[in-house]
């Protein structure tokens, strides 16, 4: 037993050392506690204090916020399903206990709201964990959850709606939890059923490495620009050759952009809102297919959730007034296409990945006028408020239209500021919170 405890402590020490190498800025603010093990994390959390530095070998500060509560996002630290002290690999010997009594959750991903889950049952299905969490705290989007449950129960297909992801190390994105047997260690829970990168706090920098079969590893830094809405900037996601490839492929096809008209705007010219040119580009070559895979890996979604890339060209003086990327069905009830696409509002665009394919001499920023919880603007072309992202070749910005509970985020209002000098080429990938028919899964 002593040898097992010593091995566990050594693994914990190695994990913190790795975190110091990969996330130096963050780890400099959180001193090491090398003797900390998972059970200590759980019992410490139960005392009502903030989580300690490490859960199952992963720094908790990478996934919990000091001040921001994210609706529908919860951080779990779960005792391994096997509590046999002689087990190093998680397997259980005959007669060993499989029911943990030290399970903690940080509600809303908030460090100061971590509680013990003393009644968590031995899970046979992921739904058991989901129901235990719901029993402990009310749902943040109960109306949507109950409607989805009712529809799926009618078809005998109800298996819950939460999505669970396991954090295995400090640099790779979390992986989906597919069965109850894998529900131990550092777990992230999303009530809305989709992964959302936690912003933590404005200015937070996260270093990750994307590893996807058939592509080279890609090291990235994710910078939180805003929590409300959630905006994350990645300065170097694609290189110049890929940007040029996309522009050259789109150039013969670009035409004046259109918009989806809300009920009260039907019949009005598209130029009331936007004056750019557009091409929806299918991923029909290897360069674009690799890019799709990287987008999936970065957003922890599936390729089949993506729409075709929308390639955009803005000449001098062209702009796109502030708008949302999600579809509020209350504004589209006369549109049969939108009602069908969203399944009457049950599903929607989750996140936008926006690419800057060129530098711009002056202007052309992407503006979020309500960032930080600001009021609805009177002038939807005013780029002087909120947060603005400057166009830079190879940079992307990730922003979420839905929160972790599946609510539409009204603060995700954004627009393309007028290009004052030069030409702006950009592209975006809209990613839904369910599989769609635009793309196939590789």
Give tens-digit pLDDT for 213-226: 767 899 999 999 99
- Tokens 């994990």 found at: 15
Average confidence score pLDDT of the chain? 85
* pLDDT for residue 48 is more than 50: no
Pairwise CA distance, residues 79 & 193, whole Å: 23
347-378 pLDDT, tens digit per residue, is: 999 999 999 999 999 999 999 999 999 999 99
Least confident of 132-136, 143-147, 225-229, 366-370: 132-136
Dist CA 29 CA 43 (whole Å)? 23
Q: What is the pLDDT of residues 244-281, one digit of tens each?
A: 999 999 999 999 876 565 776 676 655 554 568 999 99
For residues 207 and 172, give the distance between their C-alpha atoms in angstroms, rounded to a whole number.
9
pLDDT of residue 240: 97
Which residue, chain included where needed, has tokens 């009005």?
268
Omega cis (within 30) before 229:
yes
How far is it, in rounded angstroms, from Cα 264 to Cα 217? Answer: 47
**pLDDT (tens digit, 9 = 90+) per residue, 82-114?**
444 444 443 444 444 334 446 789 999 999 999
- Distance separating alpha carbons of residues 68 and 108, to the nearest angstrom: 8
Rounded distance between C-alpha atoms, residue 67 and residue 111, angstroms:
8
pLDDT at 84: 47
pLDDT at 441: 72
- Determine the length of the chain: 442
For 269, other C-beta atoms within 10 Å of its C-beta total 8
Tokens of 60: 């908790």
**Where is pLDDT greater, at 88 or 326?**
326
Distances (CA, A) of 276 to 267, 273, 312, 313, 365: 19, 10, 7, 6, 14
User: Rounded to whole angstroms, how far apart are CA atoms 81 and 127?
Assistant: 16
In this predicted structure, what is the pLDDT of residue 440?
A: 81
């Amino acid at each position: 037993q002593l040898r097992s405890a010593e091995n566990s402590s050594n693994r914990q020490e190695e994990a913190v050392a790795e975190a110091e190498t990969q996330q130096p800025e963050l780890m400099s603010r959180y001193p090491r506690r090398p003797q900390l093990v998972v059970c200590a994390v759980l019992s410490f959390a139960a005392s009502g204090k903030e989580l300690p530095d490490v859960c199952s070998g992963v720094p908790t500060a990478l996934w919990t916020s000091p001040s921001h509560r994210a609706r529908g996002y919860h951080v779990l630290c779960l005792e391994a399903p096997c509590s046999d002290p002689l087990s190093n690999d998680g397997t259980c010997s005959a007669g060993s206990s499989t029911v943990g009594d030290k399970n903690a959750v940080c509600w809303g991903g908030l460090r100061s709201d971590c509680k013990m889950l003393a009644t968590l049952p031995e899970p046979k299905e992921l739904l058991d964990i989901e129901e235990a969490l719901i029993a402990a705290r009310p749902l943040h989007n109960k109306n949507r959850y109950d409607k989805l449950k009712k529809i799926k129960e009618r078809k005998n297909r109800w298996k819950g709606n939460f999505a669970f992801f396991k954090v295995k190390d400090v640099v790779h994105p979390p992986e989906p939890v597919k069965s109850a047997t894998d529900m131990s260690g550092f777990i992230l829970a999303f009530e809305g059923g989709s992964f959302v990168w936690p912003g933590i706090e404005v200015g937070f920098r996260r270093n990750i490495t994307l590893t996807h079969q058939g592509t080279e590893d890609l090291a990235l830094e994710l910078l939180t620009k805003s929590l409300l809405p959630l905006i994350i900037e990645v300065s170097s996601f694609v290189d110049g050759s890929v940007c040029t490839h996309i522009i050259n492929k789109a150039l013969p096809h670009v035409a004046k952009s259109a918009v989806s008209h809300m009920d009260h705007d039907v019949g009005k010219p598209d130029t009331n809102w936007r004056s750019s040119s557009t091409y929806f580009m299918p991923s029909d070559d290897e360069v674009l297919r690799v890019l799709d895979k990287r987008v999936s890996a970065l957003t922890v979604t599936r390729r089949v959730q993506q729409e075709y890339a929308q390639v955009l060209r803005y000449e001098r003086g062209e702009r796109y007034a502030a708008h949302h990327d999600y579809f509020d069905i209350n504004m589209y009830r006369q549109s049969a296409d939108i009602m069908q696409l969203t399944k009457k509002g049950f599903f929607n665009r989750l996140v936008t990945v926006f690419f800057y394919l060129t530098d711009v001499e002056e202007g052309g920023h992407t503006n979020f006028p309500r960032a930080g919880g600001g009021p609805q603007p009177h002038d939807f072309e005013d780029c002087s408020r909120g947060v603005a992202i400057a166009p830079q070749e190879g940079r992307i910005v990730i922003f979420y239209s839905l929160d972790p509970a599946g609510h539409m985020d009204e603060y995700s209002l954004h627009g393309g500021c007028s290009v004052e000098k030069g030409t702006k080429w950009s592209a975006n990938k809209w990613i839904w919170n369910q599989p769609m028919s635009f793309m196939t899964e590789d």
